[in-house]
Chains A and B, each alone.
Chain A
Amino acid sequence: MGARGWLFDIGKCTGCHACEVACATWNATGAVSWRQIVKIETGVYPNVGTRNLSMPCLHCDHAPCLQACPVAAITKRDDGVVLVDQATCVGCMFCFWACPFGVPQFGAEGKMSKCTFCADRPAELPRACEEVCPTKAILSGEMHELEALAARSGGERVGGPAGPAMFVIR
């Protein structure tokens, strides 16, 4: 199976946090959020614009978190999903510093946890964040399919040497 990733439509996201809470509920993450919601307002009145971003783990091709982990707690599955082994992780936070997007989260107990791409769900099911989004701004799938979809709407892949597995439509 090909590598999997995300297609995120910035134009549809309203920054409502539903995805964050669905993820936290499905994955029983407790007080930790695996999706970071960012709302950025730009411009000067009345020429104002706001854009919203809901950032999961981007399961990068060359995941810097994996490269930076001193205890090799982070691995990448064949389908591209990057996972952290809770037994091996020592909570040193090197992965956070390596990740360009600040994805790794550290709860009160100190170990790293992050979006697992709902690793327990089979590929044909939507992810938890994806299914509850009121505007269906999130899409998961195989990268080549998402690339075609993104191209149709003038979207592009998120750049950087890490090779994030996410396309965005602005």
Chain B
Amino acid sequence: MTRMAVFWILIPLFIGVLFIGLYRNLLAKLAVIFGASGRFIPWRDVDAAALGQAYADEVVFQRRIRLRGRVPWTRHILISWGFSVLFVFDLLTALLTKYLPSEPFLDGNVGWLFLKFGLNLSGMVLLAGLLIALARSVTTAGTEHARFNDTPGTAFLLLVVVTGFVAQGMRFANVPPQPGYGWALLGYWMGEAMRAGAPYAGSHAFVWVTHALLASAFLAYLGWSRMIHVFAAPLGRIFYSQTALREAKVRPVMEGLLKPRAGSR
């Protein structure tokens, strides 16, 4: 009872903290912006081409980071795409195997292998990115490049990912390998590597709960740390693509400041 209580109390708590954080550090900030600007851009005035270009440049290909260097770009794109795809696969897995279970997605079946493949590939991408990021944090500590690092966030997320892979490895090690398990990539490999210490009974549950708690804690952390940029940066940067909006924002203020004194030329 206590273990599940811990699980079912803490996780909603963490998610709650995330949402409070998103409210305070994202929505309230957006309110400051709209309050200050006092205007929205009508849909028909949106420069869709610029918007699409900005989405591609900033979110998909992250060209800005690429301009800074290949290593910063690699680590960031691996982490951001790894995390995003992993998150989606996580949701899919939870839905299709637990909450709305569907036969093809149950253990050993094709759908399940597909989910495992997606989870592991994106997880491996994320892991690779995090390892590069941590290495970069160490090698650039104290230099001017250090301002582009996020060592606490990196370390935290790395912990989440590692516990996740260890939990999965234990689960694979607990059962005999089935044909097709190879599609689980790192999960399968870790399972094979950890087979010697099998079975992992209590320890598997412990690592799994730890992983779940750490993952939710990380989400809570996201709402209150620099990690919130995953929402803020795409929003702000895509809006920046709207040159008309930028000019409309600033020009009237400048013109107002430059209005002549009453009575002069």
Q: Contact residues of A with B, CB < 8 Å?
A: 10, 38, 40, 43, 47, 49, 51-53, 55, 64, 67-71, 86-94, 96-102, 106, 108-111, 154, 158, 162, 168, 170
Contacts and interface: CB of A to CB of B under 8 A. Distances in A.
B265 A91 contact: no
A55 B226 contact: no
A100 B259 CA distance: 17
A158 B257 contact: yes
B98 interface: no
Interface in B34-93: 36-37, 64-65, 67-68
28 contacts: A38-B254, A40-B255, A40-B258, A47-B265, A49-B265, A51-B258, A64-B32, A68-B29, A69-B29, A71-B225, A87-B146, A89-B147, A90-B233, A91-B233, A92-B235, A93-B233, A93-B236, A94-B32, A96-B236, A97-B37, A97-B236, A98-B33, A102-B249, A106-B240, A109-B64, A110-B65, A111-B147, A168-B257
Interface of B: 25-26, 29-30, 32-33, 36-37, 64-65, 67-68, 146-148, 225-226, 228-229, 232-233, 235-237, 239-240, 246, 249-250, 253-255, 257-261, 264-265
Contacts of B232: 70-71, 90, 92, 94
A68 B29 CA distance: 4
Given A68-B29, A71-B226, A87-B146, 17 more contacts: A43-B265, A68-B33, A69-B29, A70-B25, A70-B29, A89-B147, A90-B228, A90-B233, A91-B233, A92-B229, A94-B32, A96-B240, A97-B239, A99-B36, A100-B253, A101-B250, A101-B253
A110 B233 CA distance: 10
Contacts of B239: 93, 97
Contacts, number: 114
Contacts of B258: 10, 38, 40, 51-53
Contacts of B264: 170
B236 A87 contact: no
A17 to B, nearest CB: 16
Given A86-B147, A158-B257, A68 B64 contact: no
A106 B64 CA distance: 11
Nearest to B144: A86
A68 B32 contact: yes
Contacts of A89: 147
Nearest to B65: A110
Given A87-B146, A108-B64, A170-B264, A53 B29 contact: no
A9 to B, nearest CB: 12
